[in-house]
Structure 1
Amino acid sequence: MDPTRTSTRRLAALTAAAALTVGLVLAGCDSNDTSPPASTSPATSAEVPATAQSGAHNAADVAFAQQMIPHHRQAVVMSQMARSHAGTQDVKDLAEQIEKAQEPEIRTMTGWLKAWSEEVPEGMHGMHDPGGGDPNGTMPGMMSDRQMTELDRASGRTFDTMFLTMMIEHHEGAIDMAEAEKQHGAYGPAKDLADRIIKTQTAEITDMREMLQGN
């Protein structure tokens, strides 16, 4: 046997075996790769714009809060009169329902204005109405000081009729303001509140009209 030819064959066999081993090692490295897929990284960055936009508000949102706060305050005062002036329990119950719904909303809107560094209106007067009532029509449905005085002087069935008639008009004004906020506002929570006001006060108007018919 030719020793040279035998050595050549052995070298070729060793080279092939080495190549096979390297291939297996590389394949093993690929299969154990723990780096995350490329598609997992964009998820977090995609959420950032939505979060950043959640606090955006505009002038319509500010006006909505600045006008609805005194509007709600007047409704609360009217409702508090019913405790001692109303002639029926149905009117007293409705007045309590209105008060419980609107006082927390006043606190919520006050918090928005403070967070936005905007002025919070005082009492039952809007930002553009330093006098009594709302002569400039900036807050639809507001009662004048004279009407509030007359309501406070009434009692029994007379109070019930005046209260229901005034509160229907008051609610209709609030609904108009809420609809304007839904159309022109940008702040999500304010638009949600406007939607809740529309639904709640529309239902209360229906109840009050039924009460008036039976009064």
Structure 2
Amino acid sequence: AGVMDVMKVDIDEAKEAIKAAEKTSAPDEKSEALYQAVVSGARALLFVFGLEPKKDREVFAAFRQHLIEPGWVLPQTQQLLDAAIDWRMGDKDTISDSAIEAQNLVTRVEELFGSLDANLKFSVERLAQGGQTDITKEKTANYTIDLRGVACPLNFVKAKLELEKIPVGSVLDVLLDEGEPVRNVPESFTEQGQEIIEIKNLGDHFNVKVRRIK
């Protein structure tokens, strides 16, 4: 499955959970459905940032850092995430009164998903003025990212994000497993207009040298 397919699965799950919440009047069932909608909705776009968190708390923390703080979704969305976690932890009896907020979250996530361009950047306006959350790595003489053990298509997303951190004209060494990773990642970079300088077989893995052209 491609990057877009992976994200669409979460969005579809979130929309189905919203429908399930609308169909039931039982507070516990409604809360469970709304919780699933919030988790799936919050997780959907994290792939864009090279993230694939497994735990719900990690999903919410990453969503806050990459989507709430930069202003891609409304700041009050944080209250919805907090309520969802409180309910899951047993500190809150119900979140059945959060249906509108959950629906708004899923709608906005789907809007952002639909705006993604070929470089996986959002092409819609931010809803709030966010702070700068990108962390600039210390500049070193050579740039390397080790993606051994990372499956497609997440390996390309991570490599692309790493390439964007280095100056134009610089070279990134991408360490990849043999097979699908070393076939797909260089091809994806070429499609995006970057230059593949060398693909070197190092025995149990490959080193792909990518020059940032733009």
Both structures adopt the same fold (TM-score exceeding 0.5): no
Structure with the bigger percentage of helix:
1
More RCO (CA 8 Å, sep 6+): 1
Rg comparison, structure with higher value: 1
TM-score by length of 1: 0.29
Greater strand share, 1 or 2?
2
